[in-house]
Structure 1
């Protein structure tokens, strides 16, 4: 298949592109800058959709970027980075002489775990120093997914014609609490993980609205993802962390 991936230069996009190419598909990325195997968003708007069998949109500013203050400007950036790219792709698909057979929009997934990026990148240093621990009470649910499985679910959705509707991008063992996750990461690193990060610090760094996402959590079960026949490579947290840290 020829697959167009919007926002394909990021952490998830790179993993998805590698997997698709390994499965024999041809990948074109849509990004801000031109390059080999890429087109820009401006080119998509002016020249239209390149011929493709499937389109995926992964574009979007990281809402939990700790280096950005949660002010009105950043809130607008988070929204527009998702809405404008989705609108642009949707318009291009509508005008295309031959529309793609599959169209996937990635809007909400669990905490993505993998080497070289994602949530683990921010956690490793304090945990390696023995300063890691649960966030707030630690009793909140902590839905997570290995990067390999997130890319796998997306590839499965593109390749299997019966897959439709909303799929939750989380691991089956996503009833993990934040404290259990901290303990598992500490174990994988051979370090203690009992120093909690107080709620007040989380609120100070992320702002009250964003802090809710980290302090309250959400219980998510991927029933429909499993029902499509997708086989997880990393269904259990311990094995997923071991592979990442190895």
Structure 2
């Protein structure tokens, strides 16, 4: 299978590319840099290169500590997700020989933060903040016209907090925890929907390949989160324990808000209980279903 990946050189895209190649699939990137693969301009103006599947994992890092949460950065966050997705979906809809599958990676920000509510793939999202609106627009941009949609299997994977050595949420946390200065953010009681990057890549591959024949082809929404849930405080304890440190120093919510901006800080100070109900029912088997094993794998 030849797979075209938007955002293939990024954190999740690199993990997915390695997995695809290890399974014998061919990979091609859509890149912003000429010479590094098919460019976004090429796709927008000339359409898709020949391929069997398309996946978009592109998107600027929302929690980049070096970027102030300004209006211009918010626009960059939106454009890097919604417009790249729209470019690919339009190219698919105009393709004379469309790919068999079209997979989009979005986020669990679709679901409203709550300490009590439990969400699965059929749960309704909301229009309650910047991030929920972003995911709504993102997924809307991916929808294909009805005619072409009958020919192309469409899957959306809503990811939680992605844990990995080379990117995502984990590396910025390591220094304070190694110094014994780590601890829960805010109350620490907020849900922390997490996933090991290898499992997220595995779910994306599962979606691209279509799942097993016995269970039927994978379509629609899959939640890209681990099946075992934890609070942010429990995550801090597991991380500190793996490093042989304590996690007693709570980081006040006001400090997180000062560092990231009040709106962006909500990603860390609030959370959702998210179940991967359809992901499990589709036949995907997790490599790292438990938090401590996932953290130990990434740190040792």
Using the size of structure 2 for normalisation, the TM-score is 0.79
Count residues with an aligned counterpart: 244
Per-residue Cα deviation, 1:172-226 (whole angstroms, up to 9, x for no partner): 01x2001100000011111111111110011111111111221111111111110
**1:117 Cα offset (Å):** 1.5
Q: How big is the shift at 1:35?
A: 3.9
Structure 1 residue 154, shift from structure 2 partner = 0.3
Aligned match for 2:237, one of 154, 168, 183: 183
Deviation, 1:145, is 0.3
- Give SS of 1:107's match: strand
State whether structure 2 residue 96 is matched by structure 1 residue 97. Answer: yes
Q: Deviations over 1:133-187 (max 9, x none)?
A: 00000000111000000000000011125101111110001x2001100000011
Unaligned runs of 5+ in 2: 108-158, 212-216
| Secondary structure of 1:166's aligned partner | strand
TM-score, structure 1 as length reference? 0.97
> Structure 1: which 5+ runs fail to align?
none
| Superposed CA RMSD | 1.0
| Equivalences for residues 160-179 of structure 1 within 5 A | 160=210, 162-173=217-228, 175-179=229-233
Residue of structure 2 in register with 1:204 after alignment: 258
- Equivalent residue, structure 1, for 2:181: 131
* Regions of 4+ moved over 2 Å: none
Residue matched to 1:122: 172
- Displacement, 1:47? 2.4
**Residue 61 of structure 1: CA displacement?**
1.1
Aligned equivalent of 1:26: 26
CA distance in 2, matches of 1:186, 1:192: 6
The correspondence for 1:112, drawn from 162, 167, 174, is: 162
